[in-house]
Amino acid sequence: MNSYEFTLVFTLPAAQSNPEAYLDALFEAGCDDAMIGTGVAGRIALEFERAGENALNTLLSAIHDVKNAIPNANLAECRPDLIGVTGIAAIFKLSRQAVLKAIKNNPSFPAPVHSGSSDIWHLYQVVDWAQKHGKLASRLDDVAIVSELSAATYQLNLARELYSLGGVIAPAALQAFQLGSANQVLGTR
């Protein structure tokens, strides 16, 4: 069994819902291994530290527990997935300058998924690059866990986005990722 640290963000059934109203139900549903953030009306964030056989099943079990407590909640985001230079620096225990230098000096570094005033990458791509190129990976605690977890959160976020588009691509995406039914995992459109 491995221990995974991740965050799940859900939108609540009624946009004006007070997230604190769900705290007891979440605890009773098995989310006692999560710190719960209730600072935004209509949203709730759960920061889990949960043990499991693999990252994807661990994420799905946490989603299942939340959906049991709040049946009409919709998954909004799984983290860690998107990450900027500061996040990369923190994970690899480097300065921002060292990360920027690594990006500049390595043409094979993954392209950001968003470029602008702050570039953003998918964490799993950065970790994969670090492992393949022998760069930075030795600085990462539990590189295999971070790699597996960030790939699983990416898959769930991608499936959620595809599901929001509707049509036939959403069920096919969920089936390809072996995530189960859309309503079980992602909620309603």
The answer to whether residue 136 sits within a structural domain is yes
Verify that 11 and 89 share a domain, yes or no: no
**pLDDT value at position 156?**
92
The answer to whether residue 188 sits within a structural domain is no
Verify that 131 and 87 share a domain, yes or no: yes
DSSP letter at 100 equals H
**pLDDT value at position 107?**
93
**Phi, psi at residue 141, to the nearest 5°?**
-70, 135
Verify that 118 and 158 share a domain, yes or no: no
Verify that 31 and 59 share a domain, yes or no: yes
The answer to whether residue 101 sits within a structural domain is yes
CATH number at residue 20: 3.30.70.3400
Verify that 69 and 154 share a domain, yes or no: yes
**pLDDT value at position 77?**
94
Q: How many CA atoms lie within 13 A of 137 on its CB side?
A: 17
Residue ranges making up the domain that contains 161: 2-79+146-181
Verify that 75 and 86 share a domain, yes or no: no
Q: Which residues contact 92 (CB under 8 A, 6 or more apart)?
A: 99, 130, 136, 139, 140
Confidence (pTM): 0.83
Contact present, 134 and 149 (Cβ < 8 Å):
no
**pLDDT value at position 119?**
94
Give the E-state strand segments of 12-112 in sequence order: 34-37, 43-52, 74-79, 82-83
**pLDDT value at position 92?**
87
Residue pLDDT, tens place only, 86-134: 999 998 888 999 999 999 999 999 999 999 899 999 999 999 998 888 7
d(CA 131, CA 156) in angstroms, rounded, equals 22
Verify that 21 and 102 share a domain, yes or no: no
- Mean pLDDT for back-to-back runs of 10 residues, the chain (189 residues): 95 76 92 92 93 94 94 92 94 91 93 93 93 70 87 91 69 55 52
